């Protein structure tokens, strides 16, 4: 599909003159490769825009060429509507929906109609952005760098309300939301960004296991190590979520009839203990426990856990660990970074990495000396097995000791995830 601009160059020049004469452009369109009709080359447009506009810390809408702004808005909206599937329900330029055009004229025609519709919309948005950029400068002086606080507030607005940048200015937002403290929220989020980053998690985990490391270094027998680990586990439970609070939290979850007939008691007990250790993390993305297939799994979109054919503490801990990752994209990013830093090669079939077991051919993993090759599994949606495969060992002192001795770094990462406050 060719991603071309909706306007011929002569009209673009006029529009740029009308809306962009307030500032010298930071984007040199002459350096951008175009096709014979003057349109952006299909595969390189977004990449070229990013490379050109990346030269400054922040390129305002006011500073962008009009056609560049149209292309940027188009890329954002085109991707969003494709990802959420809403493009199929839009009434396109010829008054028909996408699937209707596919049926009558084919997929290529439907794609072209969708592209044209989004480009037309993008040009209207770009015009409004140019006008609003001038208004923003007039009211706040923000684009001239006169007020650092206002710059921070604008950054906060872009972070928390990204779609509003196509609808209203910072001035208008603050007028409508006088109690919204953008700076306070931004500072809190930046603190969390640092706290839940890979480095922050690893540092916290190392600190939390320092006392355990000292004790383990002095242990001489396996029994002594188990006793130390038992004390460590009991301390995690004692200093975690209060037991009754954890039980009450589990009671808020739905248990499908398929679970009530098999494994409900085991599931409830394991879930409550998990919440004690993890201090309730992972609860907001979990609503229902069910059993519909033999293989256990966690589903983020449906907010469910399938307990599988053999529901035990090990399984429940594993699947609830996925929801700890689902709950916060920063934790998920830290888990991916941990996996990728440990990886010794490019992803390959899980079947080629495991000695026993059979996986689908599309199941891939990055190799390393993990506690299991499955830790390196790669999901297309960005999820990992790092947290779930680690925290599943916390169901018993024996399993925790095995985990601690086999992969100290992974153990520390899980401690940093579970104890982040």
Q: What is the pLDDT of residues 230-286, one digit of tens each?
A: 999 999 999 999 999 999 999 999 999 888 766 788 999 999 999 999 999 999 999
Q: Which two structure tokens, joined as six digits, stand for 240?
A: 């975690």
Contact 129, 164 (CB under 8 A): no
For residues 224 and 373, state if they share a domain.
Answer: yes
pLDDT of residue 63: 58
- Clarify whether residues 375 and 300 are in a common domain: yes
**37-46, 143-152, 283-292, range with the lowest pLDDT:** 37-46
Distances (CA, A) of 164 to 83, 107, 125, 168, 259: 19, 32, 12, 6, 44
Q: Are residues 261 and 342 in the same domain?
A: yes
Shared domain for 138 and 203, answered yes or no, is: no
Q: What is the domain extent for residue 110?
A: 9-146
Residue whose pair of structure tokens reads 């004229």 in the numeric block? 105
Domain membership of residue 168 (yes or no) is no
Sign, Cα dihedral of 276, 277, 281, 284: negative
> From residue 286, how far is each of 192, 305, 308 by CA, in Å?
22, 7, 16
* Tokens of residue 106, six digits: 């084919």
Alpha carbons 5 and 68: distance in angstroms, whole number: 10
201 within a domain of the structure (yes/no)? yes
Domain boundary among 146, 176, 211: 146
Specify the pLDDT at position 83. 79
The tokens describing 209, both together, are 């296991």
Q: Which residue, 107, 122, 146, sits at the end of a domain? A: 146
Nearest to 74 by CA among 38, 111, 118, 43: 118
179 in a domain, yes or no?
A: no
Are 206 and 117 part of one and the same domain?
no
The reply to whether 41 and 136 lie within a common domain is: yes
Report how many domains make up the chain. Answer: 2
Last residue of a domain, one of 86, 119, 146: 146
- 391 and 298 together in one domain: yes
Higher pLDDT, 371 or 78: 371
Tokens encoding 311: 């529901």
Do residues 311 and 396 both lie within one domain? Answer: yes
Q: Which residue has the higher pLDDT, 240 or 130?
A: 240
User: Are residues 354 and 243 part of one domain?
Assistant: yes
Percent of all residues in the chain with a pLDDT value above 90, rounded to a whole number:
48
The encoded tokens of residue 368 equal 């390393």
Q: Is residue 166 part of a domain?
A: no
Considering the domain architecture, whether residues 388 and 283 belong to the same structural domain is answered as yes
Same domain, 140 and 203: no
Is 182 a domain residue? Answer: no
Give the pLDDT band of residue 4 (cuts 50, 70, 90).
Answer: very low
In a domain, 157, yes or no: no
Q: Are 39 and 9 in contact (CB under 8 A)?
A: no
pLDDT tens profile 151-210: 788 888 888 888 776 677 777 788 888 888 999 999 999 999 999 999 999 999 999 999
What confidence score (pLDDT) does residue 31 get?
Answer: 38
Residues 217 and 331 in one domain: yes
Please check the confidence at residue 356 and state whether its pLDDT lies above 90.
no
User: Cα separations (Å) of 266 from 119, 251, 258, 298, 313?
Assistant: 55, 14, 14, 17, 7
Look at residue 156 and tell me if it is in a domain.
no
- The model's pTM: 0.65
Identify the pLDDT of residue 140.
54
172 belongs to a structural domain: no
Residue-averaged pLDDT of the chain: 81
pLDDT band (50, 70, 90) for residue 81: confident
């Amino acid at each position: 599909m060719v991603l071309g601009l909706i306007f011929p160059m002569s009209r673009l020049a006029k529009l740029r003159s009308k809306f962009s004469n307030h500032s010298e452009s930071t984007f040199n369109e002459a350096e951008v490769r175009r096709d014979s009709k003057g349109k952006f080359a299909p595969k390189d447009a977004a990449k070229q825009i990013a490379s050109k506009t990346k030269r400054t810390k922040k390129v305002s809408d006011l500073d962008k060429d009009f056609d560049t702004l149209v292309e940027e808005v188009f890329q954002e909206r085109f991707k969003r509507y494709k990802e959420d599937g809403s493009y199929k329900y839009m009434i396109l330029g010829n008054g028909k929906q996408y699937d209707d055009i596919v049926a009558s004229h084919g997929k290529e025609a439907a794609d072209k109609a969708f592209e044209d519709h989004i480009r037309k919309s993008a040009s209207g948005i770009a015009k409004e952005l140019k006008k609003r950029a001038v208004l923003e400068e007039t009211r706040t002086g923000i684009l001239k760098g006169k007020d650092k606080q206002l710059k921070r507030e604008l950054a906060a607005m872009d972070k928390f309300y990204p779609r509003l940048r196509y609808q209203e200015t910072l001035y208008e937002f603050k007028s409508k939301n006088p109690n919204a403290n953008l700076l306070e929220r931004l500072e809190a989020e930046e603190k969390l960004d640092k706290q839940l980053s890979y480095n922050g998690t690893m540092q916290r985990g190392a600190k939390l296991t320092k006392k355990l490391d000292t004790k383990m270094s002095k242990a001489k027998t396996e029994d002594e190590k188990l006793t130390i680990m038992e004390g460590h586990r009991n301390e995690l439970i004692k200093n975690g979520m209060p037991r009754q609070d954890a039980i009450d939290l589990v009671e808020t979850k739905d248990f499908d009839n398929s679970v009530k007939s098999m494994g409900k008691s085991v599931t409830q007990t394991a879930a409550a203990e998990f919440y004690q250790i993890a201090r309730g993390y992972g609860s907001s993305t979990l609503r229902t426990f069910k059993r519909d297939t033999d293989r256990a799994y966690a589903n983020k979109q449906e907010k469910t856990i399938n307990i599988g054919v053999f529901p035990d503490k090990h399984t429940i801990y594993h699947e609830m660990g996925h929801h700890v990752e689902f709950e916060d994209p920063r934790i998920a990013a830290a888990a991916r970074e941990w996996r990728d830093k440990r990886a010794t090669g490019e992803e390959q079939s899980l079947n080629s990495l495991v000695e026993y077991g059979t996986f689908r051919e599309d199941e891939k993993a990055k190799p390393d000396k993990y506690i299991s090759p499955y830790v390196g599994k790669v999901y297309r949606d960005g999820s990992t097995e790092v947290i779930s495969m680690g925290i599943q060992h916390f169901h018993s002192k024996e399993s925790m000791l095995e985990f601690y001795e086999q992969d100290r770094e992974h153990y520390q990462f899980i401690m940093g995830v579970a104890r982040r406050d």
